[in-house]
Amino acid sequence: MTENCLFCKIISGEIPSNRIYEDDAVYAFLDIYPASEGHTLVTPKKHFSTFTDMNAEDVALLFEAARKVTAAVEKAFSAEGSNVGINNGEVAGQEVPHVHVHVIPRKKGDGGRGIKSIVWTETDTTNLEEVAKKIRNVL
Ligand code: 5GP
Ligand code: ZN
């Protein structure tokens, strides 16, 4: 529990939420300003600010819970699919600095788009191998 963290307070029950799922490592609850009906947030109970701060075990537990919740959210709202994703860091739109996976159910004709509608910058694609090398070098 990190002081002054909104989601730590939700997980501990200090701030009320609409619980969807809970296990030893994960808590999932409805987003208070949903992008579509059933929009759910899946959070690790341990406080990590960003996804890249997490360790392998906690990531595995978080994403297995996210998978279960996604299946349930789609079933409950007869959704044909969903967007499942993390805003990782303030620059990427993360407003609450406690990791959470957004599960947003989608239906045909809802007007929404896919993940590349979040950002699109023109980049040089003539040497993708150079780009890949840059990333591999720091892995
Ligand atoms: P982020 O922008 O950090 O990826 O997402 C934060 C999400 O938390 C937003 O979609 C926002 O609607 C939701 N949110 C903010 N405050 C509260 C709250 O007090 N309760 C709940 N359930 N959701 C919240
Ligand atoms: Zn927290």
What number does CATH give the domain 6-138? 3.30.428.10
Note the pLDDT of residue 1: 81
Q: What is the pLDDT of residues 8-46, one digit of tens each?
A: 999 999 999 999 999 999 999 999 999 999 999 999 999
Please tell me the residue having the least CA distance from ligand 1 atom 18.
32
- What residue ranges do the domains of the chain occupy? 6-138
CA angle 75-81-84, nearest 5°? Answer: 105
Note the pLDDT of residue 76: 97
Note the pLDDT of residue 2: 87
Note the pLDDT of residue 100: 98
Ligand 1 is surrounded, with C-beta below 6 A, by 6, 17, 29-33, 41, 87, 93-96
pTM: 0.97
Note the pLDDT of residue 77: 95
What would the two tokens of residue 41 be? 């947030």
Give the long-range contacts of residues 88-96, CB within 8 A, separation 24 or more.
88/50, 88/51, 88/52, 89/50, 93/118, 94/50, 96/5, 96/6, 96/7
Distance 18 CA to ligand 2 centre (A): 17
The residue ranges of the chain whose pLDDT is under 50 are: none
Note the pLDDT of residue 132: 97
Give me the residues near ligand 2 (ion), CB cutoff below 5 Å. 2, 5, 7-8, 47, 98
Distance 3 CA to ligand 1 centre (A): 17
